[in-house]
């Protein structure tokens, strides 16, 4: 029985790793989609609160939908902030990694090596490969 449980737990970890890797590889795409989705939901919430006639006449939305406009406004704001945050962290880490990997000095790379490893850990595999190549080039373990 213990063997079965251990195998199931191993499979769950493998699946979680696959999902994490998928989102890590497509982080830029999903952060842009999340930001756009947040803007759309925020727009529906704002127009539902202040411009109800516009939504009813132009889009033909039922009045039951308009009672949810405050919740849409709050949810849209949260989704928009999450998208902006993920986009900002991705671009910040990308800029940091590319700037630090331009150096040809071993000592400079060693100073920032822990920060680079931490930043690369949350980025697509392309950046991990770039760091690995730079480490091999400058003989860093």
The pLDDT tens digits of the residues spanning 12-71 come to 556 667 877 788 888 899 999 999 999 999 998 898 888 888 777 887 777 787 888 899
120: in domain: yes
Number of domains in the chain: 1
Residue 38: name the closest of 71, 74, 73, 76 by CA: 76
CB-based contact 38:82 (threshold 8 Å) = yes
19: in domain: no
The pLDDT tens digits of the residues spanning 62-98 come to 778 788 889 999 999 999 999 999 999 999 999 998 9
9: in domain: no
Residue 104 belongs to domain spanning: 27-137
1: in domain: no
17: in domain: no
51: in domain: yes
CB-based contact 41:72 (threshold 8 Å) = yes
């Amino acid at each position: 029985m213990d063997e079965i449980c251990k195998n199931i737990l191993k499979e769950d970890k493998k699946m979680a790793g696959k999902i994490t890797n998928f989102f890590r590889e497509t982080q830029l795409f999903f952060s842009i989609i999340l930001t756009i989705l947040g803007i759309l939901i925020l727009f529906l919430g704002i127009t539902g609160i202040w411009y109800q006639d516009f939504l009813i006449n132009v889009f033909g939305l039922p009045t039951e939908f308009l009672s949810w406009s405050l919740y849409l406004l709050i949810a849209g704001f949260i989704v928009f902030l999450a998208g902006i945050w993920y986009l900002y962290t991705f671009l910040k880490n990308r800029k940091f990694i590319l700037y630090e990997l331009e150096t040809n000095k071993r000592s400079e790379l060693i100073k920032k090596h822990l920060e680079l490893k931490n930043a690369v850990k949350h980025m697509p595999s392309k950046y991990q490969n770039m760091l690995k190549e730079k480490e091999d080039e400058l003989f860093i373990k």
